[in-house]
Amino acid sequence: MLTVQELEKSFGTTKAVDQVSFHIQKGETYGLVGESGSGKSTIGNMICGLLAPTQGVVSFFGEELWKNNRFHRPKPGSLQVVFQDPQSSLDVRMNIRQIITEPLRALPREERLKKSSDDYLRELVRRVGMHEDHLTRYPHEFSGGQRQRIAIARAIITEPAFLILDEPTSALDISIQAQILNLLKSLQQELGLTYLFISHDMSVIRYMCDRVGVLYHGRLIEENETEALFTEPQEAYSQRLLASLPQMTKRS
Ligand SMILES: Nc1ncnc2c1ncn2[C@@H]1O[C@H](COP(=O)(O)OP(=O)(O)OP(=O)(O)O)[C@@H](O)[C@H]1O
């Protein structure tokens, strides 16, 4: 579904992403893990069109997304993003209905009308564990976890094929993190979604991902199926990342 080939991004003299290649198959969750500053978000931002690559290719369903420094939008709504901080990603002046219907602007009229109908929206908010009465409320009335549910509803309203989840639970309390991760898992099953899951947290990566790429200083130094990576990490850096995990998580 998604292919990244020799992707690079420089900021001045800093090479934030260096020769990164991977592919993501339909229905899987591919994780990108690495410490702060390793280039995870920069990769996500190049895939969703927020940042132009310095070099390399990003293809989605076989179509190149970046050509001559210009982003060629895939089918409207087919690729969506959920960011880390629901506090700053939701416009405080808009009510929940306005927030979650915002991506519909990119869709053809008929689809837009169908997906902004009361029935469709009620079903959508229920699907992410919210109540239909919440549609007329404002972001400040909700907790961090609920705000992330709203951000997820906004991302799936267009029925995307692919979601970039950039540290979607890192700003949340531990107890709430698990609820949001489980919601993302069940949505993936129900809707046949494919995920790029970005996180610095190895236990979250292990819980969520089928395959994982390890980033270190902008380079993809190791890639493997999740269990293989966790049981037999090949690179010293991956071993160090794993060593930072609590023992209980490692053995489970
Ligand atoms: N807009 C920018 N201008 C200059 N440098 C940037 C910019 N965005 C990212 N960088 C640099 O690129 C490198 C990779 O940053 P990036 O945010 O992709 O890392 P990350 O792994 O997602 O880390 P974090 O989890 O802290 O967001 C860092 O050195 C960062 O300082």
pLDDT digit string (tens) for 93-130?
Answer: 999 999 999 999 999 999 999 999 999 999 999 999 99
CA of 40 to the centre of ligand 1 (A): 8
Nearest atom in ligand 1 to the alpha carbon of residue 17 is: 14
Sign of the dihedral through C-alpha 226, 175, 91, 76: positive
**Ligand 1 pocket by Cβ (under 6 Å):** 11, 14, 16, 34, 36-42, 200
What confidence tens digit (pLDDT) does each residue in 187-222 have?
999 999 999 999 999 999 999 999 999 999 999 999
Look at ligand 1, atom 8, and give the residue with the nearest C-alpha. 42
State the pLDDT at residue 243: 83
What's the confidence (pLDDT) of residue 63?
95
pLDDT(249) > 70: no
Whether the pLDDT of residue 66 is over 60: the answer is yes
* Domains, the chain, with CATH or none: 2-251 (3.40.50.300)
- Ligand 1 centroid to 211 CA: how many Å? 23
Mean pLDDT (whole number) for 152-169: 96
Higher pLDDT, residue 49 or 250: 49
Band of residue 252 on the pLDDT scale cut at 50, 70, 90: very low
Atom of ligand 1 nearest to the CA of 42: 18
Per DSSP, the residues of the chain read -EEEEEEEEEETTEEEEEEEEEEE-TT-EEEEE-STTSSHHHHHHHHTTSS--SEEEEEETTEESEETTEE---STTSEEEE-S-HHHHS-TTS-HHHHHHGGGGGS-HHHHHHHTSHHHHHHHHHHTT--GGGGGS-GGGS-HHHHHHHHHHHHHTT--SEEEEESTTTTS-HHHHHHHHHHHHHHHHHHT-EEEEEES-HHHHHHH-SEEEEEETTEEEEEEEHHHHHHS--SHHHHHHHHTS-HHHHH-
Ligand 1 atom 3: residue of nearest CA: 11
Q: Is the ipTM of this complex over 0.90?
A: yes
**pLDDT for 90-103, tens place per residue?**
888 999 999 999 99
Lowest average pLDDT, out of 6-10, 66-70, 237-241, goes to: 237-241
